[in-house]
């Protein structure tokens, strides 16, 4: 597992949208739960940006297509009038436009799109006209094919040439950008392009990879808007992000040491890039190696950032800090906070406060944190909030919000003290769909209070129903009260759903998040079982029809459940960790696991005890493994190990693998987000519900 382990969380920037039962147009016929086919066609919206005058919101709408997901930019007026589409793309473009951003004068927008062979930065005037791409090319600093020790550039039978090649400019692929507040400069992040010599090596199949000796990486560039001159800054690779000061004089940039240094421990750093001397950035030595998102205070005197909490907590558990340059002093603004933060980049305001999104229990809400560390929750009409933004004048605030049983909407408010209103966005899903809100529940386990969300199908009103238990990814993650296509899909089969947040989850403070250290498959397993017991005592659930599913860490917990109890009739494990030893040596993000149980060769007993494979001899329940073949977080070998072990133990087991997909994309496809592999999600859902139905002794609902 790693910090990027996939789970259904509220801060996912692109959220599925659905028109829900109760809308007038849907009253003509009874509402129904979404089908598997309908989940493949759900659309999404994300990345809102408020215009400089505060009158419009730029937002990305993603269409689900037969072979992927394609995004376009739309304008949504804050006065409630109809939205309109701004950008279009040719059929050959399977991705569309993304990362829309206003120019500070409001006269044009910028966005990224893949046209031809490269991802380019485009500018679209708002008064009419075509979007035009900036000509972004660089001259390679060196052609690696001519460096000592380089691989040959020709095959043995190739014709030799004595003509010296002249350096040529090469287009760069833009990964991200930020516009200076004065609109004169655009900061770009782009990976070093392939040189002509490297291309020859690859074409000749002389392309061996020297692990952790990569000389390319992401760099920070400055684009002069008036002249289109592109300048590379002196900041070394790999650059992760950069934010402007309000006076446009400097950037705070985050970089990470390249070539696998993060596998050895935190390797981040913060750098100030001055517009007066961009070739010589200065490192801010007092910023920690766990540095996450950083921004300038509005007055430019402090750096606001997220970083690892000072107290005992897993990697990725963040606190909010300020660093004052004049005094070189650091202040932790959220030390001891009884929830979790870090669901968005810090948003400094003109009054000196900072906006974040906080999670407490199963609810997320905007949080305003003052310079002295006092925090105030801001009321929201929805249980889950994401993508909270404003403009430089702070003339309004927009965000995405949703709740269980109520699909995502775009909200606007002129002031944080006023009640937000939902704006008119396009209808992005079939009308007449049923969605049910959960019951927020909690139970006790080993002295901890454990949160859960219980969804009951209509059939529970007249008799006992089967129960599907779900475990989130992470472990550092949580289920929140948010709209879930996948849950409604399961409810449509007549099954109840219990989402569980065992110890180690977010939402209940640092101590709770750290409570599963060196105890994976121990206390967290007991927490989940205690939740099942609690629900059985209070709810019309058939105890003879229990199933469990989980993705990533949830898939790992599914493996523990398989080897510790026989109370379930079917278990589905997706992208799991099965053997901590082999996982540690092959995954991306081993330092994350090291926090939980140390280096496996130094803590062999602990690593094996916390591996589901260690209990394979006790497995009996039918077990389905779902796995992406290109998963770098929890690699394919993990599922293969469990599959082989259960087969040899004569346990009913199935392994289904999906080509081309990494960890996050497969999870998104399964749970209902538009992705470039929509059929993977369709097929996996079909297999999941059929497998569970067979375990329950029911007919397969999907053909």
Tens digits of residue pLDDT in 226-252: 999 999 999 999 999 999 999 999 999
Q: How confident is the model at residue 479 (pLDDT cuts 50, 70, 90)?
A: very high
Has residue 445 got a pLDDT over 80? yes
Question: In the prediction, which pLDDT does 11 show?
Answer: 30
Q: Give the confidence band of 141 by pLDDT, cuts at 50, 70, 90.
A: low
What pLDDT score was predicted for residue 19?
34
Q: Which residue is listed with tokens 């933060």?
A: 341
Residue 28: pLDDT band by 50, 70, 90 thresholds?
A: low
pLDDT of 25 > 50? The answer is no
Query: What letter does residue 262 receive in the DSSP assignment?
Result: G
Q: How far is the CA of 151 from the CAs of 164, 205, 209, 211, 213, in angstroms?
A: 18, 10, 11, 15, 14
Please answer whether residues 559 and 576 qualify as being in contact, where contact means their C-beta atoms are separated by less than 8 angstroms: yes
**What does the radius of gyration of the chain's CA atoms come to, in whole angstroms?**
26
Q: pLDDT at position 389, please?
A: 98
Which of 444-448, 464-468, 674-678, 697-701 comes out lowest in average pLDDT?
A: 674-678
How many CA atoms within 13 Å lie on the side-chain side of 392? Answer: 19
* Mean of per-residue pLDDT scores for the chain: 91
28 vs 662, higher pLDDT: 662
Asked: is 439-696 a CATH 3.40.50.1820 domain? The reply is yes
Q: What angle do CA 501, 506, 511 make, to 5 degrees?
A: 105
Contact in structure between 554 and 473 (CB atoms under 8 Å): yes
């Amino acid at each position: 597992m790693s910090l990027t382990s996939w789970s259904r969380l509220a801060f996912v920037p692109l959220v599925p949208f659905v028109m829900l039962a109760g809308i007038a147009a849907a009253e003509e016929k009874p509402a129904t739960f979404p089908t598997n086919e309908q989940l493949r066609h759900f659309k999404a919206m994300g990345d809102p940006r408020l215009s400089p005058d505060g009158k419009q919101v730029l937002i990305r709408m993603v269409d689900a297509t037969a072979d992927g997901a394609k995004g376009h930019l739309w304008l949504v007026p804050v006065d409630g009038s109809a939205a309109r589409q701004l950008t279009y793309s040719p059929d050959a473009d399977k991705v569309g436009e993304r990362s829309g951003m206003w120019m500070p004068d409001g006269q044009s927008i910028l966005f990224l799109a893949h046209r031809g062979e490269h991802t380019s930065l485009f500018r679209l005037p708002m008064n009419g006209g075509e979007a035009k791409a900036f000509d972004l090319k660089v001259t390679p600093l060196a052609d690696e094919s001519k460096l000592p020790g380089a691989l040959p550039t020709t095959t043995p039978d190739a014709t030799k040439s004595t003509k010296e090649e002249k350096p040529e400019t090469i287009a760069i692929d833009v990964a991200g950008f930020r516009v200076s507040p004065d609109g004169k400069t655009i900061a770009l992040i782009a990976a070093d392009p392939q040189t002509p010599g490297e291309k020859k090596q690859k074409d000749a199949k002389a392309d061996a990879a020297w692990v952790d000796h990569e000389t390319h990486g992401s760099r920070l560039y400055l684009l002069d808007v008036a002249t289109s001159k592109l300048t590379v800054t002196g900041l070394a690779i790999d650059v992760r992000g950069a934010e402007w000061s309000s006076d446009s004089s400097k950037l705070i940039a985050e970089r990470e040491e390249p070539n696998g240094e993060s596998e050895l421990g935190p390797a981040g750093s913060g750098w100030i890039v001055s517009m007066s001397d961009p070739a010589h950035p200065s490192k801010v030595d007092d910023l920690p190696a766990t540095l996450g998102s950083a921004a300038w205070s509005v007055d430019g005197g402090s750096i606001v950032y997220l970083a690892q909490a000072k107290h005992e907590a897993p990697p990725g558990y963040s606190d909010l800090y300020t660093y004052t340059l004049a005094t070189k002093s650091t202040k932790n603004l959220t030390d001891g906070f009884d929830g979790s933060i870090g669901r968005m980049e810090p948003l400094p305001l003109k009054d000196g406060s900072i906006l974040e999104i906080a999670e407490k229990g199963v609810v997320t809400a905007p949080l305003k944190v003052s310079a002295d560390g006092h925090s105030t929750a801001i009321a929201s009409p929805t249980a889950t909030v994401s993508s909270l933004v404003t403009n430089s004048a702070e003339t309004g605030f927009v965000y995405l919000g949703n709740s269980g049983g109520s699909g995502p909407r775009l909200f606007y408010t002129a002031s944080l003290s006023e009640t937000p209103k939902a704006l008119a966005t396009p209808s992005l899903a079939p009308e007449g769909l049923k969605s049910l809100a959960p019951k927020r529940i909690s139970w006790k386990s080993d002295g901890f209070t454990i949160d859960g969300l219980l969804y009951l199908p209509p059939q529970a009103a007249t008799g006992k129903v089967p129960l599907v238990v779900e475990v989130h990814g992470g472990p550092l993650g949580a289920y929140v009260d948010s709209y879930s296509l996948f849950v409604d899909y399961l409810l449509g089969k007549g099954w109840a759903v219990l989402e569980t947040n065992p110890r180690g989850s977010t939402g209940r403070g640092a101590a709770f998040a750290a409570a599963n250290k060196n105890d994976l498959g121990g206390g967290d397993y007991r927490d989940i079982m205690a939740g099942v017991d609690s629900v059985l005592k209070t709810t019309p659930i058939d105890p003879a029809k229990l199933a469990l599913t989980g993705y990533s860490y949830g898939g790992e917990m599914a493996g523990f459940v398989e080897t510790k109890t026989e109370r379930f009739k079917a278990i589905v494990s997706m992208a799991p960790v099965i053997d901590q030893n082999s996982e540690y040596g092959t995954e991306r993000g081993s330092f994350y696991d090291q926090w939980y149980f140390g280096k496996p060769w130094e803590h062999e007993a602990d690593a094996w005890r916390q591996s589901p494979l260690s209990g394979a001899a006790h497995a009996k329940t039918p077990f389905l493994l779902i796995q992406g073949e290109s998963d770098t977080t929890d690699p394919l070998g993990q599922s293969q190990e469990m599959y082989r072990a259960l087969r040899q133990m004569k346990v009913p087991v199935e392994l289904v693998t999906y080509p081309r997909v990494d960890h996050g994309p497969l999870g998104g496809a399964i749970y209902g987000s538009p992705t470039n592999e929509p059929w993977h999600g369709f097929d996996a859902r079909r297999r999941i519900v059929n497998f569970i139905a067979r375990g329950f002794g029911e007919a397969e609902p999907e053909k």
